[in-house]
Amino acid sequence: IYYPSIPLYLSGNFLILLIFLSVMVKLVSDWHYNLYIVTTRKILKVSCSPLFSQTISEVLLDQVRVIEVNVKIKNFVHVLLDMGDVVIVFDRPSHEEMFVIANIEDPGATGDFLTHAFELIMHSSPVWFHPRDTKHLYKLTEDVYERPHTES
């Protein structure tokens, strides 16, 4: 292929390389500026795209019930990098959507930790689980109820 102008060819290739690098920097910075905070009261996700946007989403744990915590590893590259997603599913009436902690390192250990932490939080909350009183599981009475007689 014949190129009539070498400077035009070099500047075109430089422009394509610059666009490609800027897109890659944008994707890496969007991934890097995601922050997840999990406390005993709420789960907070802060997504920040420098110079573009900032999104904060939160779930109050005393208003929802955690149904399950799933770990999802997307493909072979994520297996090699030990990266994946932790998906937290809530009961449907109180919170319609799932909460996804995306692209984190060692998602299996994080999922196990969150499962045990949510179980402790939910069992200690009087809203979702009634504390069992092991002393009074059965109540003994001396009342005797008679069956109604049917005449045949």
pLDDT attached to residue 134: 59
Average pLDDT for residues 36-53, to the nearest whole number? Answer: 84
Whole-number Å distance between alpha carbons of 127 and 69: 20
Can you give the pLDDT at residue 53? 81
Q: How confident is the model at residue 28 (pLDDT cuts 50, 70, 90)?
A: confident
Phi then psi dihedrals of residue 103, to 5 deg: 50, 60
Of 6-20, 91-105, 107-121, which range is least confident? 91-105
DSSP secondary structure of 12-30 = HHHHHHHHHHHHHHHHHHH
Average pLDDT of the chain, as a whole number: 80
pLDDT at 96 over 60: yes
Which residue is associated with the tokens 């909460």?
A: 99
The residue whose two tokens read 């799933």 is 70
Q: In the structure encoding, which two tokens stand for residue 122, read together?
A: 């939910």
